[in-house]
Homo-oligomer: A and B are copies of this chain.
Amino acid sequence: METPYTLLDGKEINRQMREEIKAEVEKMVAEGHKSPRLIAVLVGHDGGSETYVHNKMITCEACGIRSETLRFEADITEEELLKEVAKLNADDDLDGFIVQLPLPKHIDAQKVIEAIDPRKDVDGFHPTNVGKLSIGLPGFVSATPFGICELLRRYNISTDGKHVVVLGRSDIVGKPVAQLLLHKDNPGNATVTVCHSHTKDIAFYTRHADVIIAALGQPHFVKADMVKEGAVVIDVGTTRVPDASRAKGFRLCGDVDFDNVAPKCSYITPVPGGVGPMTIIALLHNTLLAARRNRGLEK
């Protein structure tokens, strides 16, 4: 017997949240404050990065966030880039900025991230923000963990007392989302297990999970027999699989064998259209938050 499942529609939540953020920006401006201002630093001409930054900027702009892309050629030195970061840190009219990754190999990306003023680090990658996320202090939560938690929140999926199994221990997904779901918060209060490449018998954990967050980057890793009836499944995987039938020559493939897993789930994210559209919302949310803090409207 198949359980009817609900799709966690990231596209729809993205649309709702953009409207909410736009309304908040308008309110802020109507109350006499400057609108939030964001800069994206783009080094070189990587096709993927160009697209990502372009999409981020037009989405922000559409919500009333003043947004610019600051471009540098791929041969900029680390020293020069650090100077530019210092200038952005010192710009009082700038609420937040991001440095689009990856950076050219001659630049130490970690050094650049650590040079960003944590109060302007709307990507949430600075160690200070990673630490604040861990402790539960107000900072900036990075895109994917933010997107996952917001999806759970918007669909009223409680994780309180639930067993959440996170597949993958990356610094940008697995580790921070595990931390967030441990907090005394909603979502939160979960028993959290983090599995990864060294885990023996991953299925033992996933079969017991009330919520599975799959972020391994291995297409269709999670099969139906690894999932409990009624589980919530969040698929963070977005591997590009060659597909001649698509205009781009590839399709995005999640970590979950959706067709076979979905019938067992209470809720499941599609790929694409699940976690993906939620990640850009983090940038809007964080930029608005930075602006509210800078204008004394929020702690």
Contact = CB atoms under 8 A, between A and B. Distances in A.
Interface residues of A, number: 39
Contact of A134 (B137, B139, B175, B199): B175
A193 B196 contact: no
A100 interface: no
Contacts of A126: 131
A242 interface: no
Interface string A127-142: 1111111111101000
Contacts of A199: 161, 191
Contact of A175 (B127, B129, B130, B179): B179
Interface in A97-132: 110, 126-132
Contact of A135 (B127, B139, B174): B127
Contacts of A208: 204
A169 B182 contact: yes
A195 B205 contact: no
A193 B136 CA distance: 19
A192 interface: yes
* Residue from the set A174, A191, A196 with the largest chain B CB neighbour count within 10 Å: A191
A189 B198 contact: yes
Interface in A126-160: 126-137, 139, 160
A194 interface: yes
Contact of A110 (B134, B137, B171, B196): B137
A169 B132 CA distance: 15
A131 B139 CA distance: 12
Number of copies: 2
A161 B200 contact: yes
Interface in A202-221: 204-205, 208
A18 to B, nearest CB: 29
Contacts of A136: 171
A123 to B, nearest CB: 13
Contacts of A134: 127, 130-131, 134, 171, 175-176, 179
Nearest to A183: B169
Given A135-B130, A135-B171, A182 B161 contact: no
A184 B191 CA distance: 22
Interface of A: 110, 126-137, 139, 160-161, 163, 169, 171, 174-176, 178-179, 182, 189-196, 198-200, 204-205, 208
Nearest 8 interchain pairs by C-beta: A131-B131, A127-B131, A130-B131, A193-B193, A189-B198, A191-B199, A128-B128, A161-B198
